[in-house]
Every structure is written in C-alpha cells, then in structure tokens.
Structure 1
Amino acid sequence: MARTGAEAAIVWLASVAPDPRACRREWERNPKGMALLPAGRLWDVLLVPGELGYPTLDVLTRLLDRPGPVLADFGASRMGFFVPPGTAARWVGTGIRGVGDGTWIVVPRPGSTVGGARWLIPPDGSGTLTDATLLELALHEAAAARGARGGG
C-alpha cells in the first residue's frame, strides 16, 4: 500500500528517533504533537532569522520546484532549512545557527497545522533536502535585496 505524503514524511522523520515506532505512535495519538529528534543523521538544520529566512525561501522557490523541508517557529522569528548531514559543522554565517550531529530539534508532526513550530514546506518522505550551496546563494541574494530596500 502506497503511503500518502504525510505518512511517508512521518516514517522518514521518525526513522532518526531513538525509538521510531514509539515516535510514530505518539504522533498517531497526538496529531498536533511535537517530537524531539536528533539532527545529523539524515539531515541538519540551519536556523535563519525570519526577516532573512522568508526572502531566502522566496528565492529558493523561484530556483527549485521543491526545496527541502522548512520549519518556522512561534511568530516566525526563526526558520529552519533542512540540509544534508554535516552542513552544520561546516557552516560559517553570521546570525545563522547550525543544528547537526549531537544536537536535537523539536519537529511537528507532518500534516499538523497547530503548534509552536509549523511546516512551511513539509517533508515529502523522499529525503529531499535543500542543497547547502544553493541555500547560501539564496541567502546572499535575499540579504542583498533587503540591503537595497534599506531593510538591513
């Protein structure tokens, strides 16, 4: 039986949990729930201030049919771009925090619309991530556009 996008995403995300079945069960019981998942196995996350993250996402969606998963936190003050594992250890960028091997991140259940963190671009279960080099170029373009408008 083929899985829906949200079901495939749940399986993919939960696969990094210490107990993937327990993570999936918890999300089944509480569809609006969150899980604390380890980064650095299937993905890293680059946390970007929202005022730069949204324009960066606009650039990415012009360049790609589908960027990798993107989270936003309470009030959209920060956004998290899912990138290949190892990116956080190599990333150098002012105001951008890398979440990688040895760190954990709160992740909402795919398909959930309520909670402190929400998916702007949910995972599709295929493992699609945003290429770090392309993300860096999009960040530069977004920052330059903000600067030209007097926003930075």
Structure 2
Amino acid sequence: MAGRKTKAAVEWLTSVAPDPAACRWEWERDPRGIALLPAGGRWDVLILPGELGHPTLDILTRLVDRPGPVLADSGESRMGFFVPPGTVSRWLGTGIRGCGRGTWIVVPHPGRAGGGVRWLVPPDGSGTLTDAGLLELAMHEAAAAAAGEARRGGPEG
C-alpha cells in the first residue's frame, strides 16, 4: 500500500511541473531527493515559524483525521502547510510567508528523505489540503496557548 501511496503522491506533486514526466524522471534519480515545484496551481503553501507551526500541527491533528501535506526545513525552524490555491493572495499574518502563483518551493520526494527538507505529513496523492480557515483557527489556538504559558512563566508554571 505504501508504494501505491508514494507513487500517487509523486504523480500529484509533479502534475504541477511544466513537464511532469521529466520532473518525475529527474526527481527519482536526484541523490538529494528534492524537486523545485511551482506553487499556486494545485496548492499554495503557508510557511509558519516552527515555534508556531508545531503546536498548530498538533492542534490540527486533533481536529481532523489527516491534515494536508506539511513540510519542515532541516532544523524545523519553518514549516510549510499545503492549502488551497489562492489562499496566499487573501492571507495576512505577521511572520507568515506565503508561496502562491509565481513562486516555487523545494519539495522532497515523498518516498525518501530529502536534502534539508522533509515531510511531517506527506501527501497521499488524493489532493487533500489543509482548510485555510481551520489552519487559521489552529494557529490562533496555538498562539493563545503560547501567550498563556508566557504569562505563567513557561510551560511548567
């Protein structure tokens, strides 16, 4: 089953490439296991700082069976949430970057470890994305919890 999901995920991801077949061929052979793919077609990506992204992902996974794909950089200081296309053009948020139409992102192969970027929630090939409204609610809850901890003097307090 995992092999079919990986193949479906690769097909879904590379479908946005200018030449999907060439992209797949190069990606499968790239020793780093990464591809540069355009955002804004099938998905946008909202990039959160890790200190907000991790608790946001924790909250999302309690709210839905499976959120959309989520990337993390090597130090997990930034996390990218795949959301519906067009989200970035309507999104306002301090410290949040958006990758939409006209931008490209580094994406690791879903079946193996990539160079510097990895999947926290890999795509399953079905096209599942994180609902932007739900992501916003989870971010607010995560930020409120962090603010409460800061007022109490940390997570122990």
For the criterion TM > 0.5, the same-fold answer is yes
Aligned 1:48-127 pairs, distance under 5 A: 48-127=48-127
Return the alpha-carbon distance in structure 2 between the equivalents of residues 17 and 100 of structure 1. Answer: 14
Identical positions, percent:
73
1:68 deviates by: 0.1
**5+ unaligned residues in a row in structure 2: which ranges?**
none
- The list of structure 1 runs, each at least 4 consecutive aligned residues, that deviate by more than 6 angstroms after superposition, is none
* Residue type at the aligned position of 1:87: T
**1:84-108 CA deviation, whole Å, 9 max, x = no partner?**
0000010001100110001110101
Cross-structure match for 2:23: 23
Return the alpha-carbon distance in structure 2 between the equivalents of residues 37 and 16 of structure 1. Answer: 7
1:114 deviates by: 3.7
Residue 9 of structure 1 pairs with residue 9 of structure 2: yes
SS of corresponding position for 1:48: strand
Query: Which protein has the larger Cα radius of gyration, Structure 1 or Structure 2?
Result: 2
Q: TM-score normalized by structure 1? A: 0.95
Cross-structure match for 1:139: 139
1:27 deviates by: 2.0
Q: TM-score normalized by structure 2? A: 0.92
1:30 deviates by: 2.9
Cross-structure match for 1:129: 129
* Residue type at the aligned position of 2:77: S
Return the alpha-carbon distance in structure 1 between the equivalents of residues 87 and 32 of structure 2. Answer: 29
**1:39-76 CA deviation, whole Å, 9 max, x = no partner?**
00000000000000000000000000000000001200
**1:14-36 CA deviation, whole Å, 9 max, x = no partner?**
00001100111112223642111
- Cα RMSD between the aligned structures? 1.2
Return the alpha-carbon distance in structure 2 between the equivalents of residues 9 and 96 of structure 1. Answer: 26
